[in-house]
Structure 1
Amino acid sequence: MSASSTSVQFTGKAGIVDCILDIPTAHPRGWALILHPHPLHGGTRDNKVVTTLAKACQQQGLATLRPNFRGIGHSAGEFDHARGETQDMLAVLEQFRERYPELARLPWAMGGFSFGTAVAARVYSALAPEDRPRMLALAGAAVSRFIDEGQIVTVPDDTLLVHGESDDVVPLDEAMAYARSASLPIVVIPDASHFFHGKLIALRHIVQLRLQAAFP
């Protein structure tokens, strides 16, 4: 499904949050917030895993919002270990509802890759139940690396957790430990690395199947 891309800016706790909003040319059935990997290790909204998640959403008729975290592109501020980034995303969600009320009234999904999974999980936990997304997808999950001592981060029982068997950044054992702690099933793609090199089509297919169930 084709989509038009627009650069949009919101205001986070540290200043500008620079985003790309992709809106399907057909009437959107919902929308999705997609969060990128670690800003200090080359992570941006244009990361291939992020754009793969976005394309999966777009092909199911969802508009997608891809922010750059603090210090990336035109986004203001400095890396804040998922704390400030979470506050920024909560502010973006509030402003998105005000600026795009027709889109915001539709059901939505949230996805993250690597560091973005930690922000996504923290955002989900901070939202009121009635404001939470219909679907949460975490790829290459690094949630446990960015939880403060004593902090409780919850995700839904039907969270889609996808990991590469050969992940050399977040080892599979670590992902399995997180899955156990959160009582989640995990989808493991054989021979896939952290960045899902050569496995992006498989990743997109897995996400699309869950989207089809969440947005019938």
Structure 2
Amino acid sequence: MTDSPVAPVITRIRIESSDNVRLEARWDTPVEPLSIAVLCHPHPQHRGTMTAPLMIGITAELVQAGFGVLRFNFRGVGSSTGTWSAGVGEQDDVGSAVAFAAHAHPALPLGIVGWSFGAATSLRWQAREQSSLPWVGIAPPVFSDLTPRLPEPAALPPARRAFIVGDRDQFVDVAELSGYAHSVGADIDVLKGSDHFFYFRYSTVAERVIATLDPTLVD
């Protein structure tokens, strides 16, 4: 990470997605970013937004480390247009945000971070599009009535991937997620004492994210 505080440049933008949906989004970036991360928030039907505390905490840590961070609200959330589509159109939203970030900084490394619903949806997008971008999934259930199920391991192309979960998670079967991580060749970090929301552990979560997305930026 950088040795001194970084004052981020903050830009509010709109991103075009499928079905004429326009996504509310926000760039937080150092003046000269070294890497780019796209963050995907938790469940839209359960008050998940790009301003969820964990999203804000991770963003601050990533910017301090040299990342430009693109956060967005899925369709129907905040001032994003459109309506909830049970994780189908939301995959298009992930793709649109990734494409926007790649176009804005074509020469920089790019990775994806998702929390819960955002993790499941972005990983399903990777399977659909055969994307090998580095990816970090924070506490996604493997099977759930609340979020899209994670894709079949055989559907995913090789990539640098990692999972982060708390050993007290209220919604995730940790053993089940550990087995899934092994099946897709991903690392998994189980944080002792943390639940689904990782209160007071944002820096620890961000460290794991940085180590996967761009190991060159690890202290």
TM bucket, shorter chain: 0.7 to 0.9
For residues 92-144 of structure 1, the C-alpha deviation after alignment (integer angstroms, 9 at most, x for no partner) is: 3334444x2xx133111110110010122123223455xx42x2111112354
> Which residue, out of 196, 199, 202, partners 2:201?
199
Shift of the 79–155 alpha-carbon distance from structure 1 to 2, 3 Å rule, reads farther
| 1:141 maps to amino acid | P
Secondary structure in 1 matching 2:215: helix
Instruction: Let me know the Cα RMSD of the aligned residues.
Output: 2.5
Flag the 1:151–1:180 CA change in 2: closer, same or farther, 3 A: closer
Paired residues for 1:31-46 under 5 Å? 31-46=36-51
Question: How far apart, in 2, do the equivalents of 1:46 and 1:152 lie?
Answer: 33
Which AA in structure 2 matches 1:138? Answer: G
The equivalent of 1:189 in structure 2 is: 191
Which sections of structure 2, spanning at least 5 residues, go unmatched? 1-5
Q: Which residue of 2 aligns with 1:179?
A: 181
The TM-score with structure 2 as length reference comes to 0.83
Q: Which residue in the other structure is 2:3 paired with?
A: none
Q: Does 1:81 align with 2:81?
A: no
CA contact (8 A) 2:95 2:125 kept: yes
Distance 1:49 1:174, change over 3 A: farther
- Residue identity matched to 1:137: V
Q: Out of 65, 74, 82, which is 1:69 matched to?
A: 74
Q: 5+ unaligned residues in a row in structure 1: which ranges?
A: none
Aligned 8 A contact 1:56 1:204 in 2: yes
**Residue matched to 2:117:** 115
Aligned residues with identical type, % of pairs: 24
Structure 2 CA distance for partners of 1:205 and 1:83, relative to 1, 3 Å: same
CA distance in 2, matches of 1:154, 1:144: 17
Please tell me the residue identity of whatever aligns with 1:20: R
- Give the Cα separation in 1 of the matches to 2:130 and 2:186: 21
Aligned length: 209
- The counterpart of 1:28, out of the listed 21, 26, 33, is 33
Structure-2 separation of matches of 1:177 and 1:188? 13
